[in-house]
Structure 1
Amino acid sequence: MFEGFQLAMIDLPEATLRVRYGGSGPPLLLLHGHPRTHTTWHQVAPLLADSFTVICPDLRGFGQSSKPADAHDHEAFSKRAKARDCIALMDRLGFDKFRVAGHDRGSYAAFRLALDHPSRVLKLAILDGVPILEALERCGSRFASSWWHWFFYAQPDKPERAIFADPKAWYGGSAESMGQENFEDFQAAIQDPETVIGMLGDYRAGLALDHVHDKEDREAGRRIQCPLHVIWSLKDDLEFLYGDVISVWQPWAQQKVTGMGIESGHHMAEEAPAELASALKAFFAAK
């Protein structure tokens, strides 16, 4: 995987992140979702590397990156904390301003990054996500039946017990659909109890703190300052839940939001890598 890329464990003020980076050109930060690691980008990143310096970390709590010492400290798992990691990482790599794309749970970290550090983010792409506050405020029977895991994963103790019984059966995935090396990295992550707890912490912070941060920003009138492009999987349920996805995002952005659907299931980086890379390149390279 990632031919020509470097792999490093990078110590930052609050966390140690496993990071894969390579390519040439302006910096582009890619943030993975749940329950993946940075290797989910293994087909997309090389397609972008001729135009960008691509940086793919394991978010704190995921993969081989460090986990907060106190599993019940929601702030340590918050998207605000993960955004601080991203800023520290880009500082360490020597990048002042950069572009960022986030998928699934990574989209919430990317959103928080753009809101908390507007002077650093030049462009933002959100993949398969809406703001956590919007998701909770619009929650109905469709959301509850489709995204029940949001509420289950936020409970104390019970989700760990369910997942630890058979992580492979719980999370699914296969070498055929994910690629052998990506699948092996994913399996190592979900078989590690500390990583599973770290991934659950992301959901616990979502219901405890992240939506509060969203609400504070909305009440203060803070919006995303940079261009925002939203991409969603046509074979997943974002349109089913929200209809016009772009209209959900527009009130959160200073500029007009653009977007598109891709013929893919939820894990678009693995299921439609060429289409996703093309869409990202078109957005991030445009003047």
Structure 2
Amino acid sequence: MAADFLPGFAHHRIETAPGVVIHARSAGSGPPVLLLHGHPQTLSTWLHVAPRLAQGRRVVAMDLRGYGDSGKPEGGERHEAYAKRAMAADAVAVMRALGHDRFAVVGHDRGGRVAHRLALDHPRAVERIVVMDIAPTATVYARTDKNLATSYFWWFFFIQPAPLPEKLIGADPEYFLRHHIENQSKTPGSTPPDLFAEYLRCYSDPACRHAICEDYRAAAGIDLDHDAADSDKRIAAPLLALWGARGVVGRTYDVLEVWREKAEHVSGRALDCGHNLQEERPDDVMAELMRFLP
């Protein structure tokens, strides 16, 4: 049996679109907060954050479609089922099903990209937004150079036509997953063996690996189209950007400046860690969230 990293959190399975069921967990009462994980994690990545937030807030954590125990639909000709627009619609549907029409959203990595689209497509639903260790997708692609392409090689590997990346990763999923997490984290031991085993449980599923590739294929195609169409839109909700000072984002971008190009009210700072802030520096993350969230 898989370990339970969020004891006391209720399980939910919510149909958000025809044939798409999202796995979510919730606990607490008070102002609602939605937590969105990234790649290659699941909602269990919030194990150090969600229980503490739930002491005074209604916390919902969900597995993005394609990840964890959520549904893994076919991507479609343009990978539209994994567009951040579709994932953002999942998030709104989950929160509405749980009784929340307006909420704060905290997104790490891919979850931050979903949160960005959520704030653009559903501005009345988003009270505040936190993006963790990302630059906007369109910015990343527009400013890619050799250093970025080397550091983020999977951005260009995963988008190759199926089934090339799926088959290559499938030759040794554990090796690929371990290399990925250890390369991005700058805090040894911050992803303990039982949590890694949970991520591997999901990554060992060929449908999950295919969905992850579809997520990145969407980011390199339909997501950029959506971003271009909305290039004049800015996020109205207050935005907090957090990033790892020792990670690729912190080394590559003026993070506050790139988010000020996309949002009206931006604040934030670097934390002394790599990419996985919520696992590497949960106390620092909590301190920032407690100051920022309602």
TM-score, normalised via structure 2 length: 0.91
Q: CA–CA distance in 2 between the matches of 1:22 and 1:180?
A: 25
What SS does structure 2 have at the residue aligned with 1:277? helix
Tell me the matched-pair count.
281
Q: Deviation digits for residues 123-177 of structure 1, max 9, x if unmatched? A: 0001011111111111112211111210111001221111100001001058953
1:113 aligned partner: 118
Describe the shift of the 1:70–1:124 C-alpha distance in structure 2 as closer, same or farther (beyond 3 A): closer
Q: CA–CA distance in 2 between the matches of 1:71 and 1:168?
A: 28
CA contact (8 A) 1:47 1:274 kept: no
CA contact (8 A) 2:75 2:214 kept: no
1:227 aligned partner: 238
Shift of 1:215: 1.3
Shift of 1:273: 1.3
Are residue 216 (structure 1) and residue 229 (structure 2) matched? Answer: yes
Q: CA–CA distance in 2 between the matches of 1:263 and 1:70?
A: 37
Q: 223, 248, 263: which one pairs with 1:237?
A: 248
1:5 aligned partner: 9
CA contact (8 A) 2:26 2:60 kept: yes
2:185 aligned partner: none
Q: Which amino acid aligns with 1:13?
A: A
Which structure has the highest helix share of the two?
A: 1
1:250 aligned partner: 260
TM-score, normalised via structure 1 length: 0.94
2:219 aligned partner: 206
CA contact (8 A) 1:32 1:58 kept: yes
The percentage of aligned residue pairs carrying the same residue is 39
Q: CA–CA distance in 2 between the matches of 1:213 and 1:48?
A: 32
CA contact (8 A) 1:40 1:270 kept: yes
Q: 175, 178, 185: which one pairs with 1:169?
A: 175
Shift of 1:237: 1.4
What SS does structure 2 have at the residue aligned with 1:247? helix
Are residue 86 (structure 1) and residue 91 (structure 2) matched? Answer: yes
Describe the shift of the 1:101–1:230 C-alpha distance in structure 2 as closer, same or farther (beyond 3 A): same
Describe the shift of the 1:6–1:199 C-alpha distance in structure 2 as closer, same or farther (beyond 3 A): same
CA contact (8 A) 2:75 2:211 kept: no
Q: 140, 155, 162: which one pairs with 2:160?
A: 155
Superposition map of 1:1-287 within 5 A? 1-14=5-18, 15-70=20-75, 72-156=77-161, 157-172=163-178, 176-218=189-231, 221-242=232-253, 244-255=254-265, 257-285=266-294
Q: Deviation digits for residues 237-259 of structure 1, max 9, x if unmatched? A: 112211x210011021123x101
What SS does structure 1 have at the residue aligned with 2:241? strand
Describe the shift of the 1:176–1:263 C-alpha distance in structure 2 as closer, same or farther (beyond 3 A): closer
Q: CA–CA distance in 2 between the matches of 1:273 and 1:11?
A: 31
- Structure 1: which 5+ residue stretches go unaligned? none
Q: CA–CA distance in 1 between the matches of 2:83 and 2:165?
A: 19
Describe the shift of the 1:36–1:223 C-alpha distance in structure 2 as closer, same or farther (beyond 3 A): same
What SS does structure 2 have at the residue aligned with 1:178? coil
Q: Deviation digits for residues 234-284 of structure 1, max 9, x if unmatched? A: 121112211x210011021123x1011111121111111121122112111
Q: Which amino acid aligns with 2:29?
A: S
